[in-house]
């Protein structure tokens, strides 16, 4: 059993807690630069799991009793009991203490670098990740059900979202098993709709996400800006005009676009049904006090819901 000498100033538990908080502060400071602009960062486990002495054990193969073969032909050894217990991975526990009795396990879905990152987290509660491998580590942490690491990585990615990387990340989240990350990405898009819509990466969004985007009443964006962004998105799509495109353009709230913009921007594009265009112009001809209750197409996005009418001027 390893013994660690205690500090004269603080017991090991308090020193570990201080180390955890210090590294978390560093990671939080790095988050503000956005995921794609960060070369690397450190995630630190909670104070209850900062066994700094375990790091030395991981680096000492003479004490290891389990070997993992990885997808790229490598192999990494470790301690069966620590891997099975580390941050509560039921998958690793089942592999190591279930019906499988081998001292060598094939992990054909994970490469050596990613496995090494997971093991480091299990042994020390700390993980160093760069932007090139964060997706692989997140996928692996999910596969092995290392919930604490998944939660921290999703939190970091969410805090690192910006108008440049949001599209890539939401497409990753949509096509993976991270509904919470997808939800977080949608929330970011709604709150930063104007900057996201102006970024060229917006044109890479799938039609279902764009439709959800247009249907939301939580967007912080001018209606004419939304219309122009959808036009730009449409020009970059290899889609045959049909139901989806028609539905997307129907979700634009044309009465909230000024008369001048309706005539100079919307009408020339010829993508809006004549009835919608005419209804929008007629809406502007009716004095405010005679306008009926607000509805789906006259309710300002991100506006109070109890207005009797909307003055769009």
Domain coordinates of the chain in residue numbers? 12-160, 187-290
Q: What is the mean pLDDT of the chain?
A: 76
77 by DSSP, 3-state: which? Answer: strand
Model confidence pLDDT, tens digit, residues 160-186 = 899 989 999 999 898 878 999 999 999
> Per mean pLDDT, which range of 49-58, 80-89, 242-251, 267-276 is the poorest?
49-58
Number of helices (H), then strands (E), in the chain: 16, 5
Query: Is 308 a residue whose pLDDT tops 50?
Result: no
Which H or E element spans position 44? Answer: strand 41-44
Q: What's the whole-number mean pLDDT along residues 306-311?
A: 36
Query: Is 71 a residue whose pLDDT tops 60?
Result: yes
> Per mean pLDDT, which range of 35-44, 74-83, 101-110 is the poorest?
35-44
So what CATH class is 12-160?
Answer: alpha beta
Query: Is 204 a residue whose pLDDT tops 70?
Result: yes
Query: Is 264 a residue whose pLDDT tops 80?
Result: yes
Dist. CA 302–CA 140, nearest whole Å: 38
So what CATH class is 187-290?
Answer: mainly alpha
Q: What pLDDT score does 295 carry?
A: 67
Model confidence at 268, in pLDDT bands (50, 70, 90)?
very high
Model confidence at 68, in pLDDT bands (50, 70, 90)?
confident
% of the chain surpassing 90 pLDDT: 27
How far is CA 176 from each of CA 136, 143, 236, 265, rounded to the nearest angstrom?
11, 11, 25, 38
Query: Is 266 a residue whose pLDDT tops 70?
Result: yes
Dist. CA 101–CA 69, nearest whole Å: 15
């Amino acid at each position: 059993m390893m013994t660690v000498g205690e500090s004269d100033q603080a017991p090991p538990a308090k020193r570990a807690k201080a180390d955890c908080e210090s590294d978390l502060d560093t990671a939080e400071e790095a988050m503000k630069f956005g995921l794609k602009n960060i070369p690397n960062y450190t995630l630190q486990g909670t104070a209850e799991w900062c066994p700094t002495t375990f790091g030395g054990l991981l680096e000492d193969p003479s004490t290891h009793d389990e070997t993992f073969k990885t997808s790229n032909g490598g192999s990494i050894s470790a301690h069966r009991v620590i891997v099975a217990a580390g941050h509560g991975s039921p998958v690793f526990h089942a592999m190591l203490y279930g019906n499988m009795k081998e001292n060598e396990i094939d992990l054909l879905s994970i490469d050596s670098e990613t496995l090494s990152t997971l093991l480091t987290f299990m042994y020390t509660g700390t993980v160093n990740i760069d932007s090139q491998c964060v997706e692989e580590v997140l996928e692996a942490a999910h596969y092995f059900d290392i919930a604490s690491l998944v939660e921290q990585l999703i939190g970091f990615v969410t805090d690192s979202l910006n108008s440049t990387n949001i599209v890539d990340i939401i497409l990753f989240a949509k096509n993976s098993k991270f509904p919470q990350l997808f939800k977080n990405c949608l929330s970011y898009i709604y709150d930063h709709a104007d900057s996201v819509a102006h970024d060229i990466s917006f044109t890479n969004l799938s039609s279902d996400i764009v439709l959800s985007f247009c249907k939301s009443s939580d967007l912080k964006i001018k209606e004419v800006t939304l219309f122009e962004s959808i036009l730009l998105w449409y020009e970059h799509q290899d889609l045959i005009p049909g139901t989806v495109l028609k539905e997307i353009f129907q979700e634009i709230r044309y009465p909230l676009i000024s008369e001048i913009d309706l005539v100079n921007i919307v009408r020339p594009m010829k993508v809006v049904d004549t009835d919608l265009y005419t209804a929008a112009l007629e809406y502007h001809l009716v004095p405010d006090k005679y306008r009926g209750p607000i509805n789906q197409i006259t309710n300002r996005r991100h506006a109070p819901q109890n207005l009797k009418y909307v003055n769009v001027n």
